[in-house]
Amino acid sequence: RALNFNAGPAAMPAEVLQKAEKHWLNIADTGMAVMELSHRSKEYEQIHENAIQGLRKLLSIPSDYEVLFIQGGASLQFSMIPMNFLHENTSGNYVLTGSWSEKALKEAQKIGSTAPIASTKENSYRSIPQLSDINTTENAAYLHITSNNTIYGTQWHTYPTQLHIPLIADMSSDILSKQIDINQFGMIYAGAQKNLGPSGVTVVIIHKDLISQDNDHLPTMLQYKTYANNSSLYNTPPTLAIYLLSLVLEWAEEKGGLQAIEKMNENKAKYLYDAIDESDGFYLGHAEKSRRSMMNVTFNLADKEKEALFLQSASDAGFIGLNGHRSIGGCRASIYNAVPEDHVYKLAQFMKSFKRNS
């Protein structure tokens, strides 16, 4: 398997792909491939239900939350959130911690009134605002955060909980990477293509109280109630993506659940952050130490000329996807759940030997 450090679509667990291959031509003794099954068949319904129950179990999702499968990526949620939750005289409150939260805000601005209530843009998004600096507006309908900033490599390690409004988190790049308390959130959403499976399905975990039955002015496909009232089977769901998601969830359970996965992710991140911190300034981490992401490790080389050489040498040595996001450059190693620990160890060793030989 390639040493794949792409930010997304990301590496998939090899065991999941092998299992899918085994059932590729014949799923559940139907003589059909999963994408050939009717989405109204009992065999597909079982797969769909397995995926929902898999998420419920792994994330300990309480019964007063719905689990929805929506298409359009996390990016469509940037629009659906304000469409469903913003009303006259209310405001969507946003914390800006990187490009994805900026995009979420930009879409909300097209729909209604918004307020960027805290931002770390001034320090190049190296950080996350202090919880004490997050003051929601009086007319806030919700507070939106991006729990892991894929591009800048920062992550919220604790969340604002003293709120009188729902907290909504874009967890696209760190869902399922660690244990979380779902009760702290009104809604969580995540495009699948990092820790959950292939692109094509977006998972939305939403408190039932937030699902309005009273927004028929919105297009049917843009109302959360359409998905909630029809078990996300109002129209044809992305059946293959949901099947693969269900296998990823089984894999995560077999790995020991989120406690074990969190530990693995901490070990993996430590290899790389140690390589940075022990390099005497040869490698410079982008994020403030206390805000570092366990999923996306972002760094530069102090010597810009050597940076291009590092990226080229890493690529020649088989390390894929280490270029930083096109908007900020530098280097980024994305180490989502499916990236094996020994691949990360190899990268840390490569970083150390590149420095030694420079």
Binding residues for pyridoxal 5'-phosphate: 74-75, 100, 150, 170, 193, 235-236
Where does 101-257 show beta strands of DSSP type E?
A: 113-119, 140-146, 148-149, 154-155, 167-170, 187-191, 202-207
Minimal distance, residue 170 CB to ligand PLP, in Å? 5
4, 5, 6, 8: residue in contact with ligand PLP (rule CB under 6 A)? 8
Nearer CB in complex with ligand PLP: 166/200: 200
Candidate list 174, 178, 194, 251, residue with the active-site label: 194
Which pairing describes strands 140-146 and 167-170: parallel, antiparallel, or unpaired? parallel
Stretch that binds ligand PLP, among 44-52, 57-65, 105-113, 167-175 (CB under 6 A): 167-175
For ligand PLP (CB under 6 A), the number of binding residues is 11
Among 10, 37, 74, 140, binds ligand PLP (CB under 6 A): 74
- Supply the minimum distance, in Å, between the C-beta of residue 95 and ligand PLP: 13
**CA-CA-CA-CA torsion sign (36, 54, 170, 83):** positive
Report the nearest approach of ligand PLP to the CB of residue 39 (Å). Answer: 21
Strands 319-320 and 3-4: parallel
For ligand PLP, which stretch binds (CB under 6 A), given 57-65, 67-75, 79-87, 152-160? 67-75
- Compute CA distances 143 → 126, 157, 234, 290, whole Å: 21, 17, 29, 22
Q: Given candidates 84, 150, 155, 279, which one binds ligand PLP under the rule CB under 6 A?
A: 150
* First-to-final CA distance of the chain: 29
Residue 100 CB, shortest distance to ligand PLP, in Å, is 4
Cβ-based nearer residue to ligand PLP, 172 or 239:
172
Instruction: Please report whether residue 300 would count as binding ligand PLP according to CB under 6 A.
Output: no
The DSSP call for residue 305 is H
Residue nearer to ligand PLP on the CB measure, 152 or 251: 152
Member of 100, 273, 310, 354 binding ligand PLP (CB under 6 A) = 100
Q: Does residue 355 have an active-site annotation?
A: no
The full DSSP string for 139-163 is TEEEEEEESEETTTTEE-SS-----
CA distance 236 to 118: 39
The conformation of residue 24, written as its DSSP 8-state character, comes to S
Secondary structure element (H or E) that encloses residue 93, with its range = strand 91-96
Give the footprint of ligand PLP on residues 233-262 (CB under 6 A): none
292-313 burial: b if 16+ Cβ within 10 Å, else e: bbbbbbbbbbeeeeebeebbeb
Which of residues 4, 136, 145, 170 is near ligand PLP by CB under 6 A?
Answer: 170
The 3-state DSSP class for residue 319 equals: strand
Segment interacting with ligand PLP, rule: CB under 6 A, options 56-64, 68-76, 135-143, 256-264 = 68-76
Degrees, nearest 5: CA angle 170-339-255: 85
**Which one of residues 90, 172, 223, 293 is an interface residue with ligand PLP (CB under 6 A)?**
172
Sites of contact with ligand PLP (CB under 6 A): 8, 73-75, 100, 146, 150, 170, 172-173, 191
Give the residue numbers marked as catalytic: 100, 170, 194
